[in-house]
Structure 1
C-alpha cells in the first residue's frame, strides 16, 4: 500500500477517508446520473450532491467516466453478492428453484431503485469504446457465475443449445433486456413474475430438457 494512504489525518487512516469519499461520490453519481443522465451531468454537480470538493473528486477519479465505471462496478458487485447469498440459502439439488431465487435476488439488487437501474442498464450504454469493453468484461464475469451455479447445483456443466458462449450471452441479454423493459414502464409486474420468466429462459437455453448432461444414457 502507498505510504501516503497509511498516514492518519484527524485520527483516521487516509485510506479509510478516501474509501468513505469514494462511497459518497458513488452515491452522488447514482443520484445525478440516474436523474439528470450521465451525458448532461458535470463534476461540479456531482461534488455538490456528494458535499465534497472538486479537489477531492480528482484525488480519486480522472474523469466522470472513471466515476461512472466505479459506480457501475459497485452496483454489479452488490448484485453478485446478493445472488451468491441467495443461492447459499437455497435448497440444495433444486436447480430450477435455485435459479429462480438467484434471478429474484439479481432483479431486486439492480432494480429496487430506479436510479440504480438506470445507471446499470441505460446510462452505461454507448458511452465510449472503453466503457463498452468494460461492460463486456462484466458480462463475462456473470457468464462464469452462471456456469458455476448450474454446475454446483445441477451436478453438470451447462449443455447449451448450440454454441455455449453464444447461448450464455443470449441468456444475459434476455435478463438485461427484460429488466430494462421492466424499469422503463410504469406498470411493473412483481419481481417473482420476472424471475419465473427468466428462469424458464435460462433453463431452456443452458440446461438439457431431460435435466441430464450431454451424452447421459436415456432412462429405460
Structure 2
C-alpha cells in the first residue's frame, strides 16, 4: 500500500532502495505482529509506538503506510498467506494418500501453522473483527478464499469417486465457521482439549460432509 511520502532512491550500505524499503516494511509488520497480536492490541497501538518497536521513525512509517489500518490489513493478509502456503504444501505432499489421511494431514498443517504463534490467531480471529467496513470486506474475502479452496478439493475428490457429488459451497462455508470458532476457543483456553483433539474433530466434521451417512462410491454411479 503506497505511503504519503516519497521513498529515497539509489544504493546505501550495499542495499538498493527497493531492498531498504522491503526491510523497513518487514520491520513494521514484525512490530505490528507483536503489538497488535499481543499487548496492547491494534486499538491500543499508535504510529509512534509501532515505529519505536520497529526501530524506525514515524517519517519512515509514512513512507510505507498511510494509516495503522493499512498495517493491520497487510499483516492479516500475511498471516493468511503463511497458513495457505502450509496447506498447499500439505496438499502436494499428501496427494497420493487415501482421502481420510489426506484431510488429516492438511488440517494438521493448517492448525499447526496458525497456532504456532498465538499472535497469529489474535490477528486472524480477534483484532481484524469490527475495525471498519473495509477490513470486514477483506476478512470475508479471505474467508471466501478458504471456502473456494475446500470446494475445489471436495469437487475433485467427488470426481475421483472419493466423496459425494454435490454443491459444496454451503457446507464448506459452515465448516470454515467451525474451524474459526474451534481454533479461537481452543487458543483462548475455553476448551479442555489438545490441539490434536481439536484437529481430529474438524477432520471428522469434514469427512462427514464429504461422505454423508448412506453415501458410498457404488451409490454415486
Name the TM-score, length of structure 2 as normaliser.
0.85
2:140 counterpart SS class:
helix
Correspondence 1:61 to 2:65: yes
Going from structure 1 to structure 2, the CA distance change for 1:149 and 1:74 (only over 3 Å counts) comes to same
How well do the aligned residues superpose, as a CA RMSD in angstroms? 2.5
- 1:167 matched to 2:171: yes
Unpaired runs of 5+ in structure 1? none
Aligned-pair CA distance for 1:208: 4.2
Give CA-to-partner distance per residue, 1:8-62, whole Å, 9 cap, x none: 3332121121112111111111110122111111111111111111111111111
- For 1:150, which of 130, 147, 154 is the aligned residue? 154
Could you say which residue in structure 1 is the equivalent of 2:53? Answer: 49
Quote how far apart the aligned CAs of 1:207 are. 4.2
Paired residue secondary structure (2:147): helix
Q: Is residue 92 from structure 1 mapped to residue 96 from structure 2 by the alignment?
A: yes
CA contact (8 A) 2:151 2:169 kept: no
Residue 8 (1) aligns with residue 5 (2): no
What do residues 87-137 of structure 1 show as CA deviations (whole Å, max 9, x unaligned)?
222251511211111111111111111122111111111111100000111
1:16-31 alignment runs, 5 A limit: 16-31=19-34
What's the TM-score, normalizing by structure 1?
A: 0.86
Contact between 1:150 and 1:156, CA under 8 Å: does it hold in 2? no
Q: Tell me the distance in 1 between the aligned counterparts of 2:119 and 2:154.
A: 31
| Contact 1:34–1:118 (Cα < 8 Å) also in 2 | yes
Q: CA–CA distance in 2 between the matches of 1:91 and 1:44?
A: 47
Moved more, 89-98 or 130-139: 89-98
Aligned length: 212
2:144 to 140, 147, 168: 140
Whole-angstrom CA distance in 2 between matches of 1:16 and 1:153: 43
Q: For the residues of structure 1 that align with 2:63 and 2:107, how far apart are their CA atoms?
A: 37
In structure 1, the residue matched to 2:188 is 184
For 1:71-82, list aligned pairs within 5 A: 71-82=75-86
